[in-house]
């Protein structure tokens, strides 16, 4: 809020400069620059294979861009890695869930990687919120695909990160689950958080939302 005052000097939360990604001889995108400010929600659009997942992984620093930079509060991500990772959370296509651990243990393990602790009753509360009440001591391999995704939603809520990077968060969720994600995003934004996400299924957010659209893959040989 204070920063807004002299917005001329505002440093965006996340910024990309001339990003380029090449996979298997195909130029997926190049010269991709955009910024994300606090409280902004950004959807990455694009057809299948247009490079959304690749872009998100580059934003996270899990993949190297073939050219260009990703800046966190004005500094190269690889330089301020610790600060960046402490404030960012990424949830991708993959489950990140151990079938042999219970719901509760899975959440604890995920939080542990971020060195975060959460009291049991808070976890219980969040589990109820995402529709997993009563499943806290069920081993995760006995959960359905949608239920497993809901564990990740709980993790997302508990981690309290400032920036969410979500790759198709609606996968496997039922109608109620979709509504839940929408609410979560709205509340996150109200609390000043930002988010970048992809989805193929129209997400209806009653708020301003920027979009970045990636071109169709395979058209541009590089």
Partner 1 sequence: MIKKIWAWIQRFSSPKHFYAISGKLIPWFAVPAFLLGIYGLYMGLFVAPTDYQQGESYRIIFIHVPAAWMSMFIYIVMAISAAIGLIWQIKLADMIAAASAPIGAWFTFLALVTGSLWGKPMWGAYWVWDARLTSELILLFLYFGYMALQSSIEDQRTADKASGLLVIVGVVNIPIIHYSVEWWNTLHQGATVAKFDKPSMHIDMLIPLLVMALAAKLFYAAIVLMRARNEVLYRERNRQWVRDLVKKL
Partner 2 sequence: MLKAFSHLLARDLRLAFRSRHELANPLIFFVLVVSLFPLAVAPSAELLQVMAPGVIWVSALLSVLLSLDRLFKQDYEDGSLDQLMLSPNPLVILVLAKVCAHWLLTGLPLVLVAPLLGMFLYVPDEAIGVLMLSLLLGTPVLSLVGAIGVSLTVAVNRGGVLLSLIVLPLYIPVLIFGANAVDVASDGLSVRGQLLFLGAVLALALSLAPLATAVALRITASR
Partner 3 sequence: MNGSEFSWSEFFHMGGYAVFVWSSYGLALGIVLVNIVSPLIERKRVVKRVKRAIARDRHASQANNS
Ligand X SMILES: Nc1ncnc2c1ncn2[C@@H]1O[C@H](COP(=O)(O)OP(=O)(O)OP(=O)(O)O)[C@@H](O)[C@H]1O
Q: Which residues bind its own copies (CB under 8 A)?
A: 23-24, 46-51, 53, 93, 131, 134-135, 138, 142-147, 149-150, 168, 171-178, 200-201, 217-218
Question: Would you say 42 or 217 has its CB closer to ligand X?
Answer: 217
The interface partner of residue 48, options being ligand X, partner 2, Mg ion, none and the CB cut-off 5 to 8 Å by kind, is ligand X
* Nearest one of 118, 87, 83 to 104, comparing CA atoms: 118
142 binds partner 1 (CB under 8 A): yes
Beta bridge partners of 139: 102
Question: Would you say 64 or 207 has its CB closer to partner 1?
Answer: 64
Q: Which of 6, 24, 137, 176 binds ligand X (CB under 6 A)?
A: 24
Shortest distance, position 118 Cβ to ligand X, whole Å: 23
Beta bridge partners of 76: 71
Which range binds partner 1 by CB under 8 A, 86-94, 123-131, 134-142, 162-170?
A: 134-142
Binding site for partner 3 (CB under 8 A): 25, 134, 219, 221
**What is d(CA 151, CA 129) in angstroms, rounded to the nearest whole number?**
11
The C-alpha angle 212, 152, 169, rounded to 5 degrees, equals 30
The tokens for 201 are: 């299924």
**Backbone φ and ψ of 44, nearest 5°:** -95, 120
Question: Would you say 24 or 82 has its CB closer to partner 3?
Answer: 24
Shortest distance, position 169 Cβ to its own copies, whole Å: 13
Contacts of residue 122, Cβ cutoff 8 Å, sequence gap at least 6? 158
**Other Cβ atoms within 10 Å of 6 Cβ, number:** 8
The tokens for 144 are: 């359905």
The interface partner of residue 145, options being partner 2, partner 3, Mg ion, none and the CB cut-off 5 to 8 Å by kind, is Mg ion
Contacts of residue 19, Cβ cutoff 8 Å, sequence gap at least 6? 29, 30, 31, 32, 33, 55, 58, 65, 67, 68, 69, 70
Taking a C-beta distance cutoff of 8 angstroms, is the pair 153, 179 a contact? no
Question: Would you say 64 or 179 has its CB closer to partner 1?
Answer: 64
Site string (44-73) toward partner 2, x via CB under 8 A = -------------x--xxxxx---------
The C-alpha angle 138, 141, 143, rounded to 5 degrees, equals 65
Give the binding site for ligand X (CB under 6 A): 23-24, 28, 46, 48-54, 141-147, 172, 174, 217-218
Question: Which chain residues interact with partner 2 by CB under 8 A?
Answer: 57, 60-64, 82-83, 85-86, 88-90, 92-101, 105, 108-110, 112-115, 139
């Amino acid at each position: 809020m204070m920063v807004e005052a002299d917005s001329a000097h505002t440093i965006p939360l996340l910024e990309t400069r001339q990003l380029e990604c090449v996979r298997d001889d195909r130029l997926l995108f190049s010269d991709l620059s955009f910024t994300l400010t606090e409280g902004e929600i950004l959807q990455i659009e694009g057809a299948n294979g247009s490079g959304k997942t690749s872009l998100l992984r580059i934003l996270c620093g899990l993949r190297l861009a073939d050219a260009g930079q990703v800046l966190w509060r004005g500094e190269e991500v690889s330089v301020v890695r610790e600060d960046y990772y402490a404030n960012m959370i990424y949830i991708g296509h993959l489950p990140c869930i151990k079938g042999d651990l219970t719901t509760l243990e899975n959440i604890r393990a995920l939080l542990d990687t971020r060195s975060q602790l959460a009291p049991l009753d808070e976890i219980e509360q969040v589990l109820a919120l995402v529709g997993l009440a009563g499943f806290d001591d069920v081993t995760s391999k006995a959960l359905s695909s949608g239920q497993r995704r809901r564990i990740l939603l709980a993790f997302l809520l508990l981690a309290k990160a400032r920036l969410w990077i979500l790759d198709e968060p609606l996968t496997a969720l039922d109608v109620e689950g979709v509504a839940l994600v929408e609410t979560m995003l709205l509340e996150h934004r109200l609390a000043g958080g930002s988010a970048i996400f992809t989805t193929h299924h129209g997400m209806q957010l009653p708020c301003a939302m920027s979009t970045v659209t990636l071109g169709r893959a395979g058209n541009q040989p590089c």
